Structure 1
Amino acid sequence: MNPLGWLPYRRIRVRGPSMAPTLKDGDVVLARNRRNPRSGDVAVVTWVARPGQLSIKRVAGGDAGGWHVEGDNANASTDSRELGPALVHGVVVARLWPHPRLLSSR
């Protein structure tokens, strides 16, 4: 089962500084469930080593082993550089709060 559930969209509160300055701790985002990511997208991911923990990271690329994702704030991010390939469960399409805006690939 997808950790984002069965609905097409899910609201998620960002925790931690790993995606600053794009997203900050406490921001609320809207993720599209089961959307195929492209390089540059902000995605909701898990890792085999941390299956119950959802993380929000930027997609750097993908291959047969999974997706390489990194936080925008490299000094405050635990990501594919340490944990290996990630499983992508959805793509963040917008920040809802505090300053609503669509998110697009870099």
Structure 2
Amino acid sequence: MAALRRRDTDAGPEPVVRTGGGLVPIGVVDVDGPSMVPTLYPGDRVVVRYGARVRPGAVLLVRHPMRQDLLVVKRAAELRSKGWWLLSDNQFLGNDSRDFGAVPPELVLGRVLARVSPSVGWLAPAGWLERALCRWPLGRVPGLAARFGVFRRLSPEL
């Protein structure tokens, strides 16, 4: 396995990308930086499916539009005319589309499927499961949707 490490001076995630030579476009990324707290913490290791279909609410691995040598992990809020509007889960930090605008689809590398270390957590439920977790009766169970990786913001502009 080869490892690429990218350094950054701001607080955004700094992944270490490990890729194998297999047929399935899946890789493992180490996250660094607090921008995705409480979903992902510095030191978390996540599985990325490269080229996966993107939908609002998904956690993505993208190239930073201003510094394309930097990879960042952000949540897709919505698809706009110029690309994906990405937000950090930690609303107190910037370094998302509020700072750099929409990210063109060609800079989206993949979708984060799951956290594998230090604890296992699913971050990409199927669309039907996400809808079921947000409706009654499952939507009334506190924390159940979040346990399956469903995270909804009140407004993409927050």
State TM-score, norm by structure 1: 0.88
Q: Is this contact kept in 2: 1:47–1:85, CA < 8 A?
A: no
Counterpart pick for 1:16 among 4, 8, 33: 33
Give the Cα separation in 1 of the matches to 2:114 and 2:62. Answer: 16
Larger radius of gyration: 2
After TM superposition, the structure 1 stretch with the greater mean CA deviation from structure 2, 96-105 or 17-26, is: 96-105
After TM superposition, the structure 1 stretch with the greater mean CA deviation from structure 2, 75-84 or 14-23, is: 75-84
- For the aligned residue pairs, the C-alpha RMSD in angstroms reads 1.7
How many residue pairs match? The answer is 103
Flag as ranges the 4+ runs of structure 1 deviating above 4 A.
4-7
Gaps of 5+ in 2: 1-16, 125-149, 152-158
Gaps of 5+ in 1: none
Q: Which amino acid aligns with 1:21?
A: P
Greater strand proportion = 1
Q: Which amino acid aligns with 1:96?
A: V
After TM superposition, the structure 1 stretch with the greater mean CA deviation from structure 2, 77-86 or 51-60, is: 77-86
- Name the residue aligned to 1:63: 80
Higher relative contact order (CA 8 A, sep 6+): 1
- Name the residue aligned to 2:155: none
Deviation at 1:83, TM superposition (A): 0.7
Q: Is this contact kept in 2: 1:69–1:80, CA < 8 A?
A: yes
Deviation at 1:48, TM superposition (A): 2.6
Q: For residue 74 of structure 1, give the secondary structure of its aligned residue in structure 2.
A: coil
Q: Is this contact kept in 2: 1:10–1:33, CA < 8 A?
A: yes
Q: Is this contact kept in 2: 1:17–1:77, CA < 8 A?
A: no
2:71 is the counterpart of 1:54: yes
- Name the residue aligned to 1:102: 122
State TM-score, norm by structure 2: 0.60
